[in-house]
Chain A
Amino acid sequence: DIQMTQSPSSVSASVGDRVTITCRASQGISSWLAWYQQKPGKAPKLLIYAASSLQSGVPSRFSGSGSGTDFTLTISSLQPEDFATYYCQQANSSPTFGPGTKVDIK
Chain B
Amino acid sequence: EVQLVESGGGLIQPGGSLRLSCAASGFTVSSNYMSWVRQAPGKGLEWVSIIYSGGSTYYADSVKGRFTISRDNSKNTLYLQMNSLRAEDTAVYYCARFSLVDRMSSSSGHFDYWGQGTLVTVSS
Which of A's residues lie within 8 Å of B, judged by CB? 1, 30-34, 36, 38, 42-46, 49-53, 55, 67, 87, 89, 91, 94-100
CA distance A43 to B106 in the complex (A): 26
A50 CB to nearest chain B CB (Å): 4
Known: A43-B115, A49-B101. A97 touches B108 (CB 8 A): no
A46 partner residues in chain B, CB cutoff 8 A: 110-112
- Residues from 55 to 71 in B contacting A, C-beta threshold 8 Å: 58, 60-61
- Report B's interface with A, CB cutoff 8 A: 35, 37, 44-47, 50, 58, 60-61, 94, 98-99, 101, 103, 106-112, 114-117
Interface on chain A toward B: helix, strand, loop, or mixed SS?
loop
CA of A40 to CA of B50, assembled, Å: 25
> Taking the nearest CB of chain B, how far is it from the CB of A26, in angstroms?
16
Task: Pick the contact of B47: A43, A94, A98 (CB < 8 A).
Answer: A94
Assess whether B108 is in contact with A50, with CB atoms less than 8 Å apart: yes
Nearest opposing residue in chain B for A51, CB measure: B106
Report Cα–Cα, A98/B43, bound state, in Å: 11
Q: Assess whether A95 is in contact with B35, with CB atoms less than 8 Å apart.
A: yes
Q: Decide: B108 and A94 in contact? CB cutoff 8 A.
A: no
**When the two chains form their complex, are residues B114 and A97 in contact, meaning their CB atoms are under 8 A apart?**
no
Closest 10 interchain pairs by CB? A91-B109, A50-B108, A34-B110, A31-B106, A43-B114, A49-B110, A50-B106, A95-B47, A97-B45, A49-B108
Q: In the complex the two chains form, is A32's CB within 8 Å of B46's CB?
A: no
Other A-B pairs, 18, CB within 8 Å; known A49-B99, A87-B44, A91-B98 = A30-B106, A31-B106, A32-B108, A33-B108, A36-B45, A38-B45, A43-B115, A43-B117, A44-B45, A46-B111, A50-B101, A52-B106, A91-B109, A94-B58, A95-B50, A95-B111, A97-B46, A97-B47
